[in-house]
Structure 1
């Protein structure tokens, strides 16, 4: 029987070589694949973008329209008991008033007028006028003088009616005169001479001219 010779040995070596070649090829592929995966950068987790809150628009409240101030005007009238006259001059939210009985009782009052037409005027002698302008046509109120209240109504007055005043030095005496001219032409006034009161002479309501103790003076319309 003939033994296998060099051919068999060569065949065995060839098989072994093919096996080793196959093994190396497989190992190389895995190594390359693993190396690629290791070198590939890992995907970084996505951070959600921060969104700025939408600003809420501020709502500015509409200003409440304020009532306009009362109109400038003059008022003159009588007390309800017809004992005295009252005149009020209103300018730019201020008022001056004169209360006069034409003999010895008088008071000059001043103060502010509220936007609703109400007013509280005071005098150095303690007299107080509380009143209100009604529809821009008249003032109704009360003057309290020496503890006695005098209710009055003063209608709107147009020059020459209204409130007048004159001050001067006559024959060494300090003269201070006040006049209320009503729309019907009636006049009520007092002139004080060094603080002593007496009935005033009539003035010319067109010019304000008046003669006091033989000297001619000129009375002027009174405003606050």
Structure 2
């Protein structure tokens, strides 16, 4: 009977230990939060990467369109012919690809060949080595301007020709004589021209505008349209 005392004491200790273990299992420690804590999804996130367009495999990414640049607009090609305001002379101007050639002629002994550029607004300043100048402006189907011949300046008006060409020239040699002729064919089919024989000027014989043929001193020559 004396041995039962320690045995009961040992059993009581075991039961107390099992009770404590069971209590700890059901009342585990919980984490606590305060009212100032933010929920997990309120944490600032890194900004999403910006999407970049890419070309499909095998194709180049489109290049940005270049900014438009100003370009010189060419004036229309054409042939113009007319007379000076005092009706003493004729003027012809041929325009091709932004360039111009002009011929001033009084049909007797005074003439001038000039050339130069035509600006996008239709203005032109044509010159030659003699210092003579044709200044004109193309507006619609008409050129108005002046021809400065040095000793005198002439005002003129030249209208667009209804024919394929309005300005012709022929250079050749006939019976050992150097021939140089220029012709202006006006809208009424009249002609103004000068023919030089070894540099001596005189009125030019009439040409056939359809073929350009002209007879000089018994020989048939061909006058050709003049272009810049």
TM-score, with length taken from structure 2: 0.73
Contact 1:160-1:206 at 8 Å conserved across structures: no
In 2: Cα distance, 1:17 partner to 1:127 partner: 139
Aligned position for 1:185: 189
In 2: Cα distance, 1:209 partner to 1:59 partner: 58
Distance 1:128 1:11, change over 3 A: same
Q: Does 1:75 align with 2:72?
A: no
Gaps of at least 5 residues in structure 2 are 29-42, 54-62
Aligned position for 1:141: 145
Aligned position for 2:202: 198
Distance 1:163 1:206, change over 3 A: same
Q: Does 1:52 align with 2:49?
A: yes
Q: Does 1:116 align with 2:118?
A: no
In 2: Cα distance, 1:113 partner to 1:22 partner: 117
Between structure 1 and structure 2, the one with the greater Rg is 1
Aligned position for 2:112: 107
In 1: Cα distance, 2:6 partner to 2:131 partner: 144
Deviation per CA, 1:6-41: give whole Å up to 9, x if none: 1xx5234322343146437857997xxx9xxxxxxx
| RMSD (Å) for aligned C-alpha atoms | 3.5
Deviation per CA, 1:76-117: give whole Å up to 9, x if none: 001112221100111222221111112222111122223322
Cα distance, 1:51 vs structure 2: 2.2
* Partner secondary structure for residue 169 of structure 1: strand
Distance 1:143 1:29, change over 3 A: farther
* Partner secondary structure for residue 14 of structure 1: helix
Aligned position for 2:7: 13
Contact 2:165-2:225 at 8 Å conserved across structures: no
In 2: Cα distance, 1:208 partner to 1:164 partner: 8
In 2: Cα distance, 1:133 partner to 1:86 partner: 14
Contact 1:209-1:219 at 8 Å conserved across structures: yes
Gaps of at least 5 residues in structure 1 are 35-45
Corresponding pairs, count: 204
